[in-house]
Amino acid sequence: MRVLAAMSGGVDSAVAAARMVAAGHDVTGVHLALSKNPQSFRTGSRGCCSREDSHDARRAADVLGIPFYVWDLSDRFRDDVVEDFVAEYAAGRTPNPCLRCNEKIKFSAVLERGRALGFDLVATGHYARLTETTTNGECEVRLHRAVDPAKDQSYVLGVLTQEQLRYSAFPLGDTPKDEVRAEAARLGLAVATKPDSHDICFIPDGDTAGFLARQLGERPGDIVDEAGAVVGHHAGAHRFTVGQRRGLQLGTPAADGQPRYVLGITPVSNTVTVGPKAALAVDRIRAIRPRWTAAELPAGTARGLVQVRAHGEPLPATWTLTADTLEVELDTPAVGIAPGQAVVCYRGTEVVASATIDSTGSAAADADVA
C-alpha cells in the first residue's frame, strides 16, 4: 500500500512511520506547517508545530529512507482551529483544540489531499487501535482504546467518522510508550528521548489567559454568587472555565468561609458565577454536533462509559443518540464538566460517538426546584 505518514517531529510519529516501512508499505513522510511564522509556536523540542519539529521529522525520514515533504496548512489551521478556539472561549465555552485539529486538519485536510494524491492510508503516531468487523455483509472499522491507558488518545479521535477510519492507521496502539522509545533508540532515531508535548501548540508560553486577552482584549465584568450578588470583578470572562478555583480574586468571602468555584459563564451579561464545589455536581449532559464512528447512526438509548476530558476517568452512563443531539445521564454526579468540552461514548474499549457539550444539569437540583 501507499502510505502517507504524518510526521510531527516527535518519537511517536517517527516510530509509526518506521513500522509502516517495516511492514513493506511504500511510505512517504509529511510534516504539517501550521503557522506562517513557526517561531510563534512552541520551541525547545516540546511540540508538533515548531521549526525544530520540522527538522526533527526530516531527520527521522532520512534515517528511514523515505521521501519527505512539508505541507503548508497554516491558513486552514488558523481558520478551523485557532479562530474556533478563540470564538469558543468568547462564547463562554471550553474547547479542546487538539480534538478540533484531528477533526479538521489531520483527518480531513490531510486525508483529503492524501487520497487525491493516490495514497491508500494515512498513518499517525496516535495511541489507539483499529479492528475490523463485518456488519450486514459490510466490513466496518472500529476505533478502540490503546493498550497503554496512560497514553490512550481515543478520546481526541472520537470525532472520526467511518469513512475517515477506513483510511487511517495507528501503528502504536498495541504498544506501551516506553517500548516505543526503546524501538526508536534501536532504529537510531534522534527523537528517541525527545520530551512529549503537553501544551497547546499555538500558545508557546502556556499562558492561555494571556493569549485570549491579546485576541479578545480586556472585557471587565462582575463575578457574582448564586444569588446574583456581586462578589468580585474580572478583566474578561474568557479567562475562566467551569470548575476553576484559582485566580478568582474575590472581594467578598463566602459566608461559610469555604472556597468558591466557577459555576458558569454568561457572555451576554459578561458575568462569571461562583459558588461551592457541591454546586458543580451534574449528572445530565446535553451535547450537540454528534459524530459517530459506525457506518450508520447507532440511534437510540444505550449504556456504557463516557469520558469528558482527554485523560479523565470513564464514567458509567446511559445515553440517547440522535442525528442532532447526544443526551447523557451519569450514574453518579461528576464535577467540572464545562460546555465546549467533548463527551465521548464507549462500549467497552470501543468508541461509539462524540459530541460537544452544550449544557449540563442535575436531577437533584431540578427536584429541589420542583
Nearest to 243 by CA among 367, 323, 338: 338
Residues marked active site are found at 101, 201
- Express each pLDDT in 222-252 by its tens digit: 999 999 999 999 999 988 999 998 888 887 7
CATH, domain 218-279, list 2.30.30.280, 3.40.640.10, 3.40.1410.10, 3.30.70.120: 2.30.30.280
What residue ranges do the domains of the chain occupy? 2-125+171-193, 218-279
- pLDDT interval class at 209 (50, 70, 90): confident
Residue 49 has pLDDT above 70, yes or no: no
Euclidean distance between CA atoms 261 and 278, whole angstroms: 9
Asked whether 271 and 260 are in contact (CB, 8 A), the reply is no
Confidence of residue 39 (pLDDT cuts 50, 70, 90): low
pLDDT digit string, tens, across residues 62-117: 999 999 999 999 999 999 999 999 999 999 999 999 899 989 998 888 999 999 99
Domain spanning 2-125+171-193, CATH architecture: 3-Layer(aba) Sandwich (3.40)
Grid coordinates in use for 198? 503537553
First to last CA, the chain: 62
Within 8 A by CB and 6+ apart from 266, the residues are: 92, 237, 272, 273
Residue 143 above 90 pLDDT?
A: yes
DSSP string of 261-299?
EEEEEETTTTEEEEE-GGGG-EEEEEEEEEEESSSS---
Quote the pLDDT of residue 152: 96
Identify the pLDDT of residue 40.
47
Helix (H) or strand (E) holding 143: strand 138-144
Nearest to 125 by CA among 62, 81, 189: 189
When the pLDDT of each residue in the chain is averaged and rounded to a whole number, the result is: 90
For residue 35, the model assigns a pLDDT of 79
From the number of C-beta atoms within 10 Å of its C-beta (0-12, 13-18, 19+), residue 287 rates as buried
Confidence band, pLDDT 50/70/90 cuts, at residue 364: low
Measure the CA–CA gap between 160 and 110, rounded to whole angstroms: 13
Grade residue 45 by pLDDT with cuts at 50, 70 and 90: very low
In the predicted structure, residue 370 carries a pLDDT above the cut 50? no
pLDDT band for 46, please (50, 70, 90 cuts): very low
Under the banding of pLDDT at 50, 70 and 90, the label for residue 363 is: confident
Mean pLDDT of 268-286: 94
Task: Between 206 and 64, name the one with better pLDDT.
Answer: 64
Q: Please state, in angstroms and as integers, the Cα–Cα distance from residue 205 to each residue in 139, 198, 222, following that order.
A: 45, 12, 28
Whether pLDDT at 351 is above 70? yes
In one-letter notation, the amino acid at residue 222 is D
Q: What is the pLDDT of residues 306-327, one digit of tens each?
A: 999 988 999 999 999 999 999 9
Q: What is the pTM of this model?
A: 0.90
